[in-house]
Amino acid sequence: MPLLPKRRRVTDLEDVHRTFAGHTGMDRRKQDPPLFSRYLLTGRRSCPRRKVDREAPQKVDRYSPKIFVMILFILGLSLTDAFFTLLLVDNGAEEVNPLMAYYLEEGQLSFVLIKYFLTCASATIILFYKDCSLFKGKAKVGVLFYLVPISFLLVIQWQIFLFVSG
């Protein structure tokens, strides 16, 4: 009589999955991760490991310093744009954007705060979806971190031209 029970042969892929998934049969990757976790400041995950997981938006613990610098650059350009807009409006120009014109009528501080908030919200959305595909997989959303500063720089260049020429 054997002392140990006979080991069952694992032939089914589902049995293998159950064996390695802690016998629950559930794939933990299909669950939404918590918004705040203990790994928020100490985690090491900077991108999903599996190629399949990289195709959909995934929460990571750390972002690259390059993205952090780009976000700071975008926020700085947004504040510079707000400064030049206020300067031009004081010299007789009009705000063309109806939403921002409304907040400009409310006051300069509300104009700057709303502009900053909208830029922060946009940068956060781009950050969360940076690995998602655009244009049927031809580009990632993260490319906007490089396109948005170009548009801000063109607007600021135009504002400087208007200020100097006018």
Q: List pLDDT tens digits, range 6-15.
A: 555 555 555 5
pLDDT exceeds 70 at position 52: no
Average pLDDT, stretch 19-33?
A: 56
CB–CB of 81/119 below 8 Å?
A: no
Q: Which of 161, 7, 159 is nearest to 85 (CA)?
A: 159
> In the predicted model, what is the mean pLDDT of the chain?
78
CB–CB of 130/67 below 8 Å?
A: yes
CA distance 160 to 166: 10
Average pLDDT, stretch 121-129?
A: 88
Average pLDDT, stretch 61-72?
A: 84
pLDDT exceeds 90 at position 16: no
pLDDT exceeds 70 at position 124: yes
Entry pTM: 0.67
What is the band of 63 on the pLDDT scale with cuts at 50, 70, 90?
confident
pLDDT exceeds 80 at position 132: no
CA distance 131 to 73: 20
pLDDT exceeds 60 at position 44: no
pLDDT, residue 17, reads 54
pLDDT, residue 139, reads 81
